[in-house]
Amino acid sequence: PGAMAEGGISSIIWGVVYGGGIILMLGMYGVIQERIMSEPYGSEFFTISVFLVLCNRIVAILYALGMIKCKGEEFANKAPLWKYLAISFSNVAATWCQYEALRYVSFPVQMLGKSFKMMPVMLWGIAISGKRYGVKDWSIALGVTWGVTQFLLSGEIKSKHAAAESSLYGLLLLLAFLVCDGFTSTFQEKLFREHKTSKHNQMLYVNSGSAVVSGGSLLLSGKTVQAIGFCFAHPDFVAHAGTLSACAVSGQFFIYSLVKEYGALTLAATMNLRQVLSILTSYMLYLHPITFLQSVGLVLVFCSLFYKTYDGYKNPKPKPSQPDAKGAAKVAPQELGKAADRKEDAEALEAPPPAQAAEAAQQA
């Protein structure tokens, strides 16, 4: 009994360490992201979002290489390179839209926009993987969508230093983020299932492709010299950008560790709490105004998200059993389809995409 109690205490401690690591690292990621994109350095604002994407991807590549080496995994790609490249394009587009949006709308709006992606992800899941969702799933997605919409329509949403009329452009960028990020996460789940890639192998190739795409975009934009010049002119920006990338990668480590040891539902609860704390921190640090109706919208969003997590604990999806050769023929085709869907959901939760891990939150 003493050994069992000691094991239980150890499990709780590591759960707190992993969960606290997620909240701390991704909380810092959010605060620094808002500092870089919405606050001036001296009299200048940083405006070259794709350079920030490139920095993040380079650090992620180094992390993936280190983890593959330490774990003795194969460096060779497990899926066709064109599939990684397809994810890379949507991944870079999503991250660029996320950063760029902070120039026009506040960080709480951006965070809520990530919750809003539930509906696009579900639609992508239907289109790409043929998934099916029940009334409860759609009701939760509707609650989140309603709360986000109410928040957007009932108070000020612009970034502190942006013009009021620029909010619409910021919302369009968030909409583009939702579409691209929904495709990224859904296609990555498909890659995990079909090619049995490890998370670090996929992380290496997706981020390598993303580095090529973001680096090429930076060169074609003609702003490479300007970005480097900004780094030399503002050393504190370099510190912020480096810390941002380190927090993103550290967040991924804690996310994968928590999922491996405690499951995807624990991760979902942790990410919901992280989202609440990040939004409250942003309001305190950057003094964003908020109305009563916006507060109600926030409560509706987070109640829906926490209910989704609670329902997952209360009604866990059963793991599909492996029928023997004799019994396999007796199983109805629709039952096999249901079992495949449950397996897809479990695999998707046990192997969250690297992009979601980095953005948290990407949620995510």
Q: Please determine, for residue 329, whether its predicted confidence score (pLDDT) is greater than 50.
A: no
> Could you tell me the pLDDT band of residue 112, with boundaries at 50, 70 and 90?
confident
Tokens of 324: 């023997």
List alpha helices for the chain, DSSP H: 2-38, 49-71, 81-101, 107-116, 118-124, 135-153, 167-195, 199-221, 224-233, 235-262, 264-286, 292-314, 325-328, 333-350, 354-359
Quote the tokens at residue 17.
């360490």
The torsion angles phi and psi of 226, rounded to 5 degrees, stand at: -65, -40
DSSP string, 13-39: HHHHHHHHHHHHHHHHHHHHHHHHHHS
Model pLDDT for residues 185-210, shown as the tens digit of each residue: 778 878 877 887 777 888 899 999 99
- Contact by Cβ (8 Å): 182, 130: no
Q: What per-residue confidence (pLDDT) applies to 7?
A: 63
Whats the size of the chain, residue-wise? 364
pLDDT higher than threshold 80 for residue 161 = no
Q: Based on the number of CB atoms within 10 Å of its own CB, is 334 exposed (0-12), middle (13-18) or buried (19 or more)?
A: exposed
pLDDT at 363: 40
- As a whole number, mean pLDDT of residues 153-182 equals 85
Q: Tell me: pLDDT of 338 over 90.
A: no
CA distances 237 to 40, 112, 227, 277, Å, are: 10, 26, 11, 25
Task: Judge whether residue 348 has pLDDT over 60.
Answer: no
Residue 5 pLDDT: 56
Under 8 Å between Cβ of 102 and 167: no
DSSP-assigned letter for residue 105: B
More confident residue, 323 or 303: 303
